[in-house]
Amino acid sequence: MTNGPIFGAMLQEFDGAARILNLEPGIWKILTHPKRQITVSCPVQMDNGEIEVFTGYRVQYNITLGPAKGGIRYHPGVTLDEVTALAAWMTWKCAVAHIPFGGGKGGIICDPTRMSRRELEALTRRYVAEIIDAIGPEKDVPAPDVNTNDQVMAWIMDTYSMHVGHTSTAVVTGKPLELGGSLGRREATGRGVMISARESAKHLGFDISNATVAVQGFGNVGSISAQLIGELGARIVAITDWKGGVYNEKGLDLAMLNDHVRQQKTVAGFSGGTSVTNDELFALDVDILVPAALENQITMANAPSIKAKVVVEGANGPTSPDAHRHLHDRGVFVVPDILANSGGVTTSYFEWVQDRQGYFWTEKEVNDKLEAKMCEAFNAVLQTALKYRVDLRTAAYIVAISRVATVTRMRGMYA
């Protein structure tokens, strides 16, 4: 059982909500233990002829509500602690989103920026072969996460299909459209972040079309969130990524910024603004702050400087528990990751449904269904927060834990 700092942060959040719910000790124990943690070694022949061995993980945290669901991350900093915490968060996220999935997550310790396409494909296929018995449309359905994309999902789907002897599109989501992907999936997490920001502004009584916004991270989640919140009329004044950041109080020209990022692979150096660091971005006097990069970015080192009214957590686990308490005490409205970024997994669920029925929806149908699901989840969490007089994160956990606990009790104990 992992007990590292990231899983510890998840447990702190869980415990707060479980106490309010008066959760019985037995269910408490079940819900705070990962069901399955898999560690594999993946040998790969590199382009220079040498053999490297990469460590990969797949964690199925809880599968009470359905197959495990969660992304695969390629990053030098991946640990079992991180993957386990992310798998737990997926469990609560799927439950908050009210979709029939449990929580899983995977990761490989590697630096994809230093690997060729052939090396990445070989690593992906070997990793899938190593975890093949644990995944499948009814068992565990991976998806993209940091540094993995639709091409990686296509390799996963192909490797799995080769092993089972038939084409199985529903084994992963976030696939290319031609391979059973869903329209709207690429934009779904950012769309959910936009809906969360919009509903927060509505609840707090300010006009989002006049709001100012800062976004940390300009990958899938950060760039689409910025784009869609910008389309509501809000001004995106600052964006940072791994290499630096840009600020323009009049609002950044996102079309030009996207061109710059396509060429330079970073927002740093963009001529349409001045440079800004992460710490400066967090301290900006904006209405909405969207952390959409990695976990543990908002800590007590920078939380006291945050001036935003609303923090919408596009990333997973971007705020440390003490920083979250501090922000809540100061009246900052924090929309927690397991609600704010659940648009991605909700549309992954739509992709899985479409693959299994072999009939595909239009982009409008997907977006309309996502809009309905996100609003349902946002309202369930908001009403729970008002009922128990707690912050939105505790409320989201209360909603999630109640749903998983109810089904755990119904299913009973197999022994």
Residues tagged active-site: 105
Cα(64)–Cα(78) distance, integer angstroms:
26
Strands 140-144 and 68-75, sheet pairing: parallel
- Residue 173 is a binding residue for ligand NAD (CB under 6 A): no
- Nearest approach, Cβ of 310 to ligand NAD (angstroms)? 17
- Nearest approach, Cβ of 412 to ligand NAD (angstroms)? 32
Distances (CA, A) of 323 to 122, 300, 334: 41, 5, 11
Q: Are 140 and 68 in contact (CB under 8 A)?
A: yes
Question: DSSP E strands: which ranges in 7-50?
Answer: 36-45
Query: Starting at the edge strand that comes first in sequence, how are the strands of the sheet with 51-62 ordered?
Result: 36-45, 51-62, 102-109, 68-75, 140-144
Cα(134)–Cα(381) distance, integer angstroms:
32
- Residue 9 is a binding residue for ligand NAD (CB under 6 A): no
- Nearest approach, Cβ of 389 to ligand NAD (angstroms)? 28
| Token pair of 54 as six digits | 């990469």
- Residue 91 is a binding residue for ligand NAD (CB under 6 A): no
Q: Which positions from 369 to 388 touch ligand NAD by CB under 6 A, shown as an x/- string?
A: --------------------
**Residue nearest to ligand NAD according to CB distances in the complex:** 219
- Nearest approach, Cβ of 329 to ligand NAD (angstroms)? 25
Residue 60 or 408: the one with the smaller Cβ distance to ligand NAD is 60
Residue 93 or 125: the one with the smaller Cβ distance to ligand NAD is 93
Among residues 2, 124, 220, 408, the one that binds ligand NAD under rule CB under 6 A: 220
Stretch that binds ligand NAD, among 53-61, 313-321, 324-332, 361-369 (CB under 6 A): 313-321
Stretch that binds ligand NAD, among 31-39, 113-121, 216-224, 326-334 (CB under 6 A): 216-224
Stretch that binds ligand NAD, among 50-58, 123-131, 203-211, 308-316 (CB under 6 A): 308-316
Cα(134)–Cα(126) distance, integer angstroms:
14
Q: Are 336 and 400 in contact (CB under 8 A)?
A: no
Cα(75)–Cα(107) distance, integer angstroms:
8
- Nearest approach, Cβ of 145 to ligand NAD (angstroms)? 5
- Nearest approach, Cβ of 355 to ligand NAD (angstroms)? 17
Distances (CA, A) of 305 to 204, 222, 242, 248, 299: 21, 21, 21, 19, 10
Residues in the chain: 415
Interaction residues for ligand NAD, span 100-159 (CB under 6 A): 144-147
Cα(104)–Cα(18) distance, integer angstroms:
21
Among residues 42, 110, 221, 236, the one that binds ligand NAD under rule CB under 6 A: 221
Kindly list the residues in this chain that would bind ligand NAD in the complex (CB under 6 A).
Answer: 144-147, 189, 216-222, 240-242, 278, 292-294, 314-316, 341, 344
